[in-house]
Structure 1
Amino acid sequence: MEWVRIFPNEQEARRRIRNDKPQLVAIYGRRICLALHDDQFFAVQDACSHNGESLSKGHINYLGEIVCPWHGYRFELHTGRPCDSSSPDLATYPVKVDETGFYIGIP
């Protein structure tokens, strides 16, 4: 696992990533959807596993599910699992914050 620094600190991450508004980040050619929900950061693959639409164009509902903007497919941010079991799981990426910065783990 390689930890890639995205922001210099947590304050900058909270300034740039708004609550329940997904944000696209690209790391080594991977499109990753970064989200903040209930004071916790999550990172999942950006492409919906149903049809490939960008999840960073979607939204996060009150249950903490990322909702695809195209067909409304929903996925749990914690696990990447689809809420109705009709699509493959999303890849998830660990997020780490310490005194040296805000990181996403890339396998």
Structure 2
Amino acid sequence: MEQKQTRYTWHKVFDSVTEAHEQVPPRKLKQLVLDGRSICFAHTASGFFALDDVCPHLGYSLSKGTTNYLDEVICPWHSYRYSMRDGRECEFRTRKAVLHPVELREEGVFVGIEQAAATI
């Protein structure tokens, strides 16, 4: 039986958690470009999240939107809401948003971009 093994290229996006808090205050979003990909980096009361900066509905930039207390990012165009925990749109009207792991390390804040899948 084949298993998909997920591997990430980790990108340092901030030198410290303090810098991340300063650059992206709570309830704010910031667009980052990693490996040529636009990423929406979010800060909520629950922590930091990263997802592709494209609304799965019609492709608008999610980093131009807002967040809410449910850890959802809200697209500014049609107000579709995507969970930053599992990527699902709150009313299941469109496909999931693509999420990326965020790691807080001693040497900074990192976002993982999935590499091509390997089968083992």
TM-score (norm 2): 0.86
- Following TM superposition, the consecutive aligned residue runs of length 4 or more in structure 1 with deviations greater than 3 angstroms are none
- Are 1:106 and 2:113 matched, yes or no? yes
Q: How many Å apart are 1:39 and its aligned residue?
A: 4.1
Q: How many Å apart are 1:28 and its aligned residue?
A: 1.2
Q: Secondary structure at the match of 1:47?
A: coil
RMSD across aligned positions (CA): 0.8
- Are 1:61 and 2:68 matched, yes or no? yes
| Aligned partner (choices 4, 15, 30) of residue 11 of structure 2 | 4
- Are 1:16 and 2:38 matched, yes or no? no
Q: How many Å apart are 1:62 and its aligned residue?
A: 2.3
| Aligned partner (choices 48, 53, 65) of residue 46 of structure 1 | 53
TM-score (norm 1): 0.96
Q: How many Å apart are 1:41 and its aligned residue?
A: 0.3
Partner of 1:25: 32
What is the rounded CA distance, in whole Å, between the counterparts of 2:19 and 2:68 in structure 1? 24
Q: Identity rate of aligned residues, in percent?
A: 38
Partner of 2:81: 74
| Bigger radius of gyration | 2
Could you report, residue by residue, the CA deviation over 1:1-55 in whole angstroms, capped at 9, with x for unpaired residues? 1111011111101110111111100001111100011140000111000000000
Give the partner amino acid of 2:68.
Answer: N
